[in-house]
A and B are shown apart, each in its own frame.
Chain A
Amino acid sequence: MCIRHPKDFLTGVMFVGFGAAAMALSFGLAIGSAAKMGPGYFPFLLGAFLAVLGAVILLRSLVSARRVKEWPVLHLKPLGIVLLSVVLFSRALKPLGLVVSTVGLVVLASAASHEFRWKEALLTAAVLAVVVWTVFVYFLEFQIPVWPQLVAGRT
C-alpha cells in the first residue's frame, strides 16, 4: 500500500482534520436535541460528515489512480513574502501610518517576483504612496493614520 494520489491523500487528511476539530469544538457547546437544536448540533453533524468524506477521499487515494500521481510542488518564496508583507502592513498601519506602511508593503511584496529590482520597487512604492495619499487621505478623507505616531503627535 502506498499513496497513489498525494493531492487527494492530503485533501483527505485536511478534511478529516477540519471535521474532527469541528466535532471536538462542538462538544464544548450545547448540542441539544433534534427538536431543540443547540448551537453545537448542526456544526457537529457537518463535522462528522466532513470527517467521513475526508476518510473516503483518503482511502481512495491509496487504491485508485491508474498511475501514481506527483506530490504538489510548493514555492515558498512568493507565498511567504506576499503573506508576510500583508501581515506586516496590518501590524504597521496603526503605529507607523499609511505612508510608511505603503512603502514597506510595496517594496517587500515586489521582492516576491523573480524579476525584482531595487530601483524599480522603490520607484513603484514612491508613486503608489503619493497615489494612495491623494486618493484615500486627500479626496476620500479616510479615517486612517497617515504618519508615524511620534511625528504626528508633535504636530
Chain B
Amino acid sequence: MELLSNLALGFQTAVSPLNLLYCLAGALIGTLIGVLPGIGPVQTIAILLPTTFALPPVSALIMLSGIYYGAQYGGSTTSILVNVPGEASAVVTCIDGHQMARQGRAGAALSISALGSFVAGTFATFVLAVLAVPLSEFAFRFGPAEYFSLMVFGLIGSVVLASGSLLKAVGMIVLGLLLGMVGTDVTSGAHRFTFGIPELADGIGFVSLAMGLFGICDIIHSLEKRERRDILKSKLTGFWLSGSDIKASAPAVLRGTLCGSLLGILPGGGAILSSFTAYMLEKKSSKNPESFGKGNICGVAAPESANNAAAQTSFVPLLTLGIPPNVVLAMMAGAMMIHGIQPGPRVITSNPELFWGVIVSMWVGNLLLVLLNLPLVGMWVRLLSVPFRLLYPAILLFCCIGLYSVNNNTFDIGLTALCGLLGYVFHKLDCEPAPLILGFILGPMMEENLRRGMLLSRGDPAVFFTRPLSLAFLLMAAVLLLLVALPSIRRSRESAFKEG
C-alpha cells in the first residue's frame, strides 16, 4: 500500500514535536486574527505571512495551513456570535448560525460547525492523498503549451465562478500578470518596470502586495464604516449536541462534505462557492425549507462542512499542477515560492516529506481546532468585545514590523502603503483584488511557458490549438466564458451570490 506508507511518512513529519507546535501555534493565531470581524482567511494569511519566514519550509507551510483553518474557524465563530461574517465564505453560516445563537443555541451551533468541519476535513484529506499521486503523474506529461493553456483555464475559471463584473475581473487578472512582470526578466536579465529602483529588481514583494491589498486596505475600509456590532451577551452553554441534533445534521454534514470536496478541486472553487452551494442544496433537498433562516441546524452543518472540505481539496490543483485555484491558495503558493519551493507536480517527488507532512498536518490541525476551540470559545468572545479602535493600530503595527523582518529593510513598508492605496482605489471602483493576486502569482510562470512553447514551435501560435490537451483546456475556458455571457446563467449567477 503506497498510500499508507506515504501517509506514514506524513505522520512522522507532522507529529514531530516541533511541527506539532507550529501547527498548534498557527491554528491558534489564525483563529485569534480570524475571529476579528471583517478579517477573513486571506487577510489573516497576509498579515501573518512574515511570521513563518524564519522557519524551515515544512514547518512554515504546516503553520500556514494551520493559520488558514484557524482563520476559517474563527470566521464561523464570529458569524455565529456577532452576525458579522468575518469573511465571504462565512456569510451563509450567519443566516442560520446567528438565529440559533439568538435562540440560545450558540453552543450547539459552534459545536456542529467544529464537528462538521472535522468530519469534512478528514474526508477531504483522504481525497487529497488519493488524488495527489495520479494527478501529479498526469501533469508530468504536460509541455509548456499545456501549462500555458491550463493557466488560462485556471484564471478564467477563477473569475467565472466569482461574483461581480466579469470584464473587470479579467482586467484585474491582466493587471496582476503585469505586476508580476516587474523585476528582473529571468531569460534576458533585463530590468522591467523597475524605474531604476534597486529594491524592485527582485520584483514587487508578494508580502507587500498581499498585505497592502488585503490588510491595510481593509483596515481603512473598516474605518470608513461606523462600528455597529450585535454581540451575543448571554453566557454560552450547551455545547453538547442532542441526539435529535446529531440525527438531523449528520446527513447535512455528509452532503456538505461531498459537495465541498468536489467544488474545492475546480479552478475558482474553494470555500466561498462551496458553502453557498451546499447551503442552497440543503435548502432545496430539505423537507421543510421554510425552517431555513430561522435557526435550522442543517443550515450551519452543511456550509461549514463544505467550506472546510473545499479548503482542503483546493490544495489538490496547487500541489499537483502548480495552479492555485483561488486567492487563499495563491497566498500559499506565494509563501512556498518565498521558501524556494515551486508549487507543481515536482513537489511530491522532490520533497515527499514536505508534501505528505503538510497533508497530514491538515488533519492534525483540524483535530487540534476541535479540541482547542470549543474550550477556548469564551476567550474569543471576549476578544470580540475589544473595540476596533484599539485593535487596528495594533494590527497595523504588527504588519509593519512583520514587513521589516522579511528583508530587514524599510522599503517594503513604504511599498505596502502604496499597495494599500491601490487597494483602496480598487475597492472604491468595485474591482475585486483577488484575481489580481492570482495573476501576480501565475504571471512569471505563464510568460515562461508561453516563451518556451513558442520557441519550440518556432513562433507558430497554432501549437496551443493542435496539441489535444492544450486545446481541451482552452476550449473549457471558452465554454466557461460563453456560459457566463448567456443571460439566463448570468442572472442565476448574480442571484446565487445575493442569497445571503
Q: Which residues of B contact A35 (CB under 8 A)?
A: 454-455, 457-459
Q: Taking A37-B450, A78-B223 as contacts, is the C-beta distance between A106 and B393 under 8 angstroms?
A: yes
CA A87 – CA B444 in complex, angstroms?
A: 29
Q: Are B428 and A7 in contact (CB under 8 A)?
A: yes
Q: Which residues of B contact A94 (CB under 8 A)?
A: 410
Taking CB atoms and an 8 Å cut-off, the chain A residues in 64-100 that contact chain B are: 72, 74-75, 78-79, 82-83, 85-87, 89-91, 93-94, 98
B: interface residue count bin: 35 or more
Q: Are A136 and B420 in contact (CB under 8 A)?
A: no
A-side interface mostly: helix
Q: Are A89 and B413 in contact (CB under 8 A)?
A: yes
- Chain B 49-90 interface mask (CB, 8 Å, partner A; 1/0): 000000000000000000000000000000000000000000
Chain A residue with Cβ nearest B461: A34
Q: Which residues of B contact A57 (CB under 8 A)?
A: 167-168, 171
Q: Are B185 and A39 in contact (CB under 8 A)?
A: yes
Q: Are A75 and B224 in contact (CB under 8 A)?
A: yes
Q: Taking A79-B424, A112-B223 as contacts, is the C-beta distance between A34 and B174 under 8 angstroms?
A: no
Chain A residue with Cβ nearest B179: A18
Q: Are A49 and B450 in contact (CB under 8 A)?
A: no
Say yes or no: is B175 at the interface (Cβ < 8 Å to chain A): yes
CA A115 – CA B226 in complex, angstroms?
A: 10
Q: Which residues of B contact A3 (CB under 8 A)?
A: none
Q: Are A132 and B413 in contact (CB under 8 A)?
A: no
Q: Are A56 and B178 in contact (CB under 8 A)?
A: no
The one of A29, A38, A46 in contact with B174, judged by C-beta atoms closer than 8 angstroms, is A46
Taking CB atoms and an 8 Å cut-off, the chain A residues in 19-39 that contact chain B are: 19, 22, 25, 29-30, 33-39
Q: Taking A53-B167, A82-B396 as contacts, is the C-beta distance between A87 and B223 under 8 angstroms?
A: no
Say yes or no: is B239 at the interface (Cβ < 8 Å to chain A): no
Q: Which residues of A contact B132 (CB under 8 A)?
A: none
Q: Taking A11-B431, A82-B219, A94-B410 as contacts, is the C-beta distance between A128 and B393 under 8 angstroms?
A: yes
Chain A residue with Cβ nearest B387: A115
Say yes or no: is B390 at the interface (Cβ < 8 Å to chain A): yes
Q: Are B425 and A14 in contact (CB under 8 A)?
A: yes
The one of A34, A37, A86, A116 in contact with B400, judged by C-beta atoms closer than 8 angstroms, is A86
Q: Taking A30-B190, A43-B193 as contacts, is the C-beta distance between A82 and B429 under 8 angstroms?
A: no
Q: Are B174 and A42 in contact (CB under 8 A)?
A: no
Q: Are A25 and B193 in contact (CB under 8 A)?
A: yes
CA A70 – CA B26 in complex, angstroms?
A: 43
Most buried by B among A35, A46, A75, A124: A46
Q: Are B188 and A38 in contact (CB under 8 A)?
A: yes
The stretch among B258-266, B277-285, B355-363, B401-409 that forms the contact with chain A is: B401-409
Q: Are B192 and A43 in contact (CB under 8 A)?
A: yes
CA A42 – CA B442 in complex, angstroms?
A: 13
CA A108 – CA B263 in complex, angstroms?
A: 45
Min CB distance B463 to A, Å, is 11
Say yes or no: is A126 at the interface (Cβ < 8 Å to chain B): no
Q: Taking A53-B170, A86-B216, A143-B408 as contacts, is the C-beta distance between A39 and B397 under 8 angstroms?
A: no
Q: Are A90 and B400 in contact (CB under 8 A)?
A: yes
Q: Are A142 and B405 in contact (CB under 8 A)?
A: yes
CA A42 – CA B453 in complex, angstroms?
A: 13
Q: Which 4 A-B pairs have the closest CB atoms?
A: A35-B459, A90-B413, A78-B223, A34-B459
Q: Spell out A's residues near B (CB within 8 Å).
A: 7-8, 10-11, 14-15, 18-19, 22, 25, 29-30, 33-43, 46-47, 49-50, 53-54, 56-57, 60, 72, 74-75, 78-79, 82-83, 85-87, 89-91, 93-94, 98, 102, 105-106, 109-110, 112-116, 120-121, 124-125, 128, 132, 136, 142-144
Known: A35-B455, A38-B190, A85-B396. 7 other contacts (CB 8 A): A22-B193, A25-B192, A30-B190, A35-B457, A43-B193, A72-B429, A82-B219
Q: Spell out B's residues near A (CB within 8 Å).
A: 165, 167-168, 170-171, 174-175, 177-178, 181, 185, 187-188, 190, 192-193, 216, 219-220, 223-224, 226-227, 387-390, 392-394, 396-397, 400-401, 404-405, 408, 410-411, 413-414, 416-417, 420-421, 424-425, 428-431, 446-447, 450-451, 454-455, 457-461
21 contacts between A and B (CB under 8 A): A19-B174, A30-B190, A35-B454, A41-B451, A46-B181, A50-B175, A53-B174, A57-B167, A57-B171, A72-B429, A82-B420, A87-B413, A87-B417, A90-B413, A91-B410, A109-B392, A109-B397, A114-B226, A124-B393, A128-B394, A144-B405
